[in-house]
Amino acid sequence: MGFRTGNTTFGFTMRVPANEAATVDDLIDSHAKWMSETHSLEPENGKLQTLEYFVSKATELNDMMDPSKGSTGNIIYNVSEVHIDDEHFGKHVELGQSWDRIGEFFGLFERYSPLVTMGGRVIAKL
C-alpha cells in the first residue's frame, strides 16, 4: 500500500555529542526492536500497522558544502514515522506507554531539545 499525502507523521531530528552516540544508538535500537514486535508495515493480525519507520544518522559537518573542513563533533539523528491517520498515530502513542524504555526515550527530548513534528502530514512524496 505505501504511504500517501495526508498520512499522519511523527518525527524528530536531534544533535547529539559524538561521545554520547553509543547510548543513543542503544536506545534507538531498542525502540526499533519494540516497533518490529508491536507494529507491521503490512496489515498483520495483532500488530498495529505503520506505513513507514526509519532512523538515520550522520556526522554533522562544519560546512556541508566542503566536508574537508571536518565535523562539529556531533551526530545528527533523524527518526521518522508515517502512520495511516490520526487514529492509528493515537494508538501508537497509547501502545508506546507499555514500552519498558519509554521514559528514557522521552529523556532524549529533555536532553537534546530536538526539532519535533508531532501529528504532521505527508505533503509530498515520489
Instruction: Go through the chain and tell me how many residues it has.
Output: 126
CA geometry: angle at 27 spanning 23 and 33, to 5°?
Answer: 145
> 8-121: what CATH class?
alpha beta
Contact 108, 14 (CB under 8 A): yes
pTM over 0.75: yes
Residue 44 — very low, low, confident or very high, per pLDDT cuts 50/70/90? confident
pLDDT at 51 over 70: yes
Residue 46: pLDDT over 80 = yes
Confirm if 52 and 41 have CB atoms less than 8 A apart: yes
Domain ranges in the chain are 8-121
pLDDT of residue 13: 98
User: Which residue type does 108 have?
Assistant: L
Helix residue spans in the chain (DSSP H):
21-38, 86-96, 102-112
Q: Say which residue the cell 526499533 belongs to.
A: 32
How do 39-40 and 115-121 pair as beta strands? unpaired
